[in-house]
Amino acid sequence: MSETQSDRESGTQFIPKFDDKGLLSAVVTDAESGRVLMVAFMDEEALSATQQTGEAHFHSRSRGKLWKKGESSGNVLKVEEMLVDCDQDAIVLRCRPAGPTCHTGATSCFYRRLEDGILQPVKS
């Protein structure tokens, strides 16, 4: 195991491992219920903005720029805790949402389950 990999896995230093596009996976969970609310990506800019403001920021792959969650809807995500995985290429943001997280108005973007190849509503 390389020194960096060992440092990443067992050390106390935050050394985010961005992919070849400069991104980390970011999973938002509800700090109260633990439910997964959304999944997105963060680049260095989004990570820094999130740490500085305490509100979740992401990198929009489709728009190619920084995106503050809730910037238009007002449904911001207040970050209670940030968890980092073993190889530091993914982050869980435990958040308190100001409103529905999904742009469809659903509490979570994961409002459907796959059952025998068909999407069915999840009981919320």
Sequence-separated (6 or more) residues with CB below 8 Å from residue 50: 42, 56, 57, 79, 82, 93
Which listed residue (45, 100, 106, 107) binds a second copy by CB under 8 A?
106
Q: Using the rule CB under 8 A, is 69 a contact of a second copy?
A: no
Q: Is 89 annotated in some ligand binding site?
A: yes
- Residue 95 labelled as part of a binding site: no
CA distance 54 to 14: 17
8 A C-beta contact, residue 20 and residue 41? no
Q: Is 124 in the site for a second copy (CB under 8 A)?
A: no
84 near a second copy, judged by CB under 8 A: yes
CB of 46 to a second copy, least distance (A): 14
Contact 21, 5 (CB under 8 A): no
Whole-angstrom Cα distance, residue 57 to residue 40?
Answer: 10
Residues that bind a second copy (CB under 8 A): 9-14, 19, 25, 27, 29, 33-36, 38-39, 61, 81-87, 90, 92, 102-104, 106, 109-114, 117-120, 122
As annotated, the binding site for Zn(2+) includes 86, 102, 109
